[in-house]
Structure 1
């Protein structure tokens, strides 16, 4: 139990530092000091800084799956589910460095020197799945290619969150994601 709490604390501190300062600027000694454990304790859980970065990226996948499960558990389908997914993702991106850190780490993957998990594939799958449902419900035009549109929706979302981050610290992210949907729906709605 204590081991898991220590591991979780190390992951949280690492995510916050990686997101704030970037991979190269963060040392394992700083993470250990922040969590108030020895550097050896960090190495016990993560044999290298690259392993720690990889674990931070994996936590992102868990967070995304939790969002998908929550929306799909609410029985939302189609376009309603897609708007709920993106609204919840926007809230988490705004509030949780543990979810934002993997994006920065992936942008810095050449510095890290390991293959990091690709985070966009689960997003693409979930969005494609809901677009197919939306077509079946006649919410989306029949001539729309769900996979192609999913690619653009995911790209728009991540671009929206990045620009919102750069311009005002994601304060307007929820509004910007709503506006993104208003624009996208004009092109795909039945």
Structure 2
């Protein structure tokens, strides 16, 4: 039992170190030798868990997917409208992106075109499907105009969130990102939410930005 626990801890350390290095230096520029050195493990320990660098990338993207699904599932059990749940999900992603390297590394891997092994979906496909589902429900709840192209809005929304995280993370301090995300939502809300319901969601975007900064 103790040996199994040590093995799990070693694997978690290797993944965490790899995510940090992939995030800071990029996948192609990070070698397995660097991961071994920073994780303070032997090459044998690394190869026991991961046969190649691609296996490490896949493990990080799996963790990213689990984190995203957990965030979405936690929101499903609460009394939120579909649009509010979607907004909270994007700010939850921004918080996780700010706090640890796994989501940042996973996003960088996805942008770099690292292949995803089935049955794991590409993260952007998974996020777009979640956004599409929430937006369709929001249309039924009259929080979104019925004549919008839901697929296009979901695509633009995911692209905007990813761009906000990546561009903001490159040019600005992390504390600024929730505000940038709120600004993105101001534009989306004014374009797709009926006038009578806009104040609620504009106020929500501002509140979520403040909460994310102080979390």
- TM-score (ref. length: structure 2): 0.81
Quick one: structure 1 residues 138 and 99, their matched pair in 2 at CA, closer, same or farther if it must change by over 3 Å?
A: same
Larger CA deviation: 30-39 vs 8-17: 30-39
| Paired residues for 1:1-190 under 5 Å | 1-109=5-113, 114-115=115-116, 118-190=122-194
Question: Matches of 2:176 and 2:116 in 1, distance apart?
Answer: 33
Q: Name the CA shift for 1:173/1:49 in 2 (closer, same or farther; >3 Å).
A: same
Return the alpha-carbon distance in structure 2 between the equivalents of residues 115 and 77 of structure 1.
32
Displacement, 1:115?
4.6
Pair 1:119–1:80, CA change in 2 (3 A): same
Cα distance in structure 1, aligned partners of 2:98 and 2:138:
27
Gaps of 5+ in 1: none
Determine helix, strand or coil for the equivalent of 2:7.
helix
Supply the distance in 1 between the matched residues of 2:83 and 2:112 (Cα, whole angstroms).
33
Describe the superposition over 1:36-70 as per-residue Cα deviations: whole angstroms up to 9, x where unpaired: 21011101100011111121122111111111111
- TM-score of the superposed pair, with normalisation by structure 1: 0.92
TM superposition shift of 1:118 = 1.3
